[in-house]
Amino acid sequence: MRGRAADDGAGVPPPPPLAPLVAGVGARRGVPVAEVLELITASCAAAGYAVRQVVALATVAAKADEPGLTGAARELGVPLRSFPAAALAVVPVPEPSAAAAAAAGTPSVAEAAALLAAGPGAVLAAGKRKSSPARATCALAVPAGGAGPAVTDSGALTAGREGVPVVPSTGTVIVMASPNPPRRGPDRRTAVAGDPAPGSATPGSKEPQ
C-alpha cells in the first residue's frame, strides 16, 4: 500500500513555483520586435530561466512607445512599464554607461528599469546583455525573496495583455490603439491625458542602454 501511494504521488509536495522575472530593455529607435524577443529569450536561457517566467518588461519613458518594445510585450502577453530617466539614474547598477547617461539621461536603462519594476529589494538575475546587431539590451531582475508580486504599481503602464485591467500608477498611462476601429457615439473614448502628440516622440539614442 505504501509503495502504491508513493507511485500515485500521495504525500509528495508540489514543486515550488517558478520565480517571476522582470526583463528590463533598452533599445535604439526602430528595433524590430523579433530582435527584442530573441534577446529576452537568450537572456533567460543563458541565466537558466524560461521565458515564460517573464511577467513584465520595463524601460525608460523615452522609449515607452517604441513599437519594438510594445510589440514584444504583446507577444509575451505581459505589461510594459516605463520610468523617467531621472528615476533610473539613481538606481545602483553594476554596469553604468557614460554614453547612456549622455544620450538618455541615465547611466542604465535595462538593469535599472528591471530593478525598479521588480520592486524594493529586487536583485539582478542576469546583467545587461546586448542583441545582435546590438540594437537592444536586456537585463533580468527578480523580486526580493524570489517570490510575491514581481511588478510594482510605479511607472507608466505602456502596453499590456488584452483583458488585463489597467492599474492606476504614479506615472502616465498610455493606452495602446486597438486594431478595431473605435465605436462612434457619445461613449467614444478620447485620448488619454498625457499621451504624446503625433510626431512628438523623443528621438532615440544611437546606442542601446
CA distance 207 to 203: 12
Q: What is the mean pLDDT of residues 55-76?
A: 96
187 close to 193: Cβ distance less than 8 angstroms: no
Decide if pLDDT at 95 tops 90.
no
CA distance 80 to 158: 5
Cell 546583467 belongs to residue? 127
Q: What percent of the chain has pLDDT over 70?
A: 62
Average pLDDT value for the chain: 75
Domains, the chain, ranges and CATH?
26-159 (3.30.420.180)
Confidence (pLDDT) at 124: 95
CA distance 22 to 122: 10
What's the pLDDT band for 34 if we cut at 50, 70, 90?
Answer: very high
Decide if pLDDT at 193 tops 50.
no
Confidence (pLDDT) at 116: 95
CA distance 62 to 69: 12
Decide if pLDDT at 197 tops 60.
no
What's the pLDDT band for 151 if we cut at 50, 70, 90?
Answer: low
CA distance 125 to 121: 13
Confidence (pLDDT) at 47: 94
Residue 98: all three cell numbers together: 557614460
Q: What is the mean pLDDT of residues 130-139?
A: 92
Q: Which conformational region is residue 76 in: left (phi greater than 0), alpha (psi within -120 to 50 degrees), or beta?
A: alpha
Confidence (pLDDT) at 69: 97
Q: What is the mean pLDDT of residues 78-89?
A: 96
β-strands 123-130, 156-159 pairing: unpaired
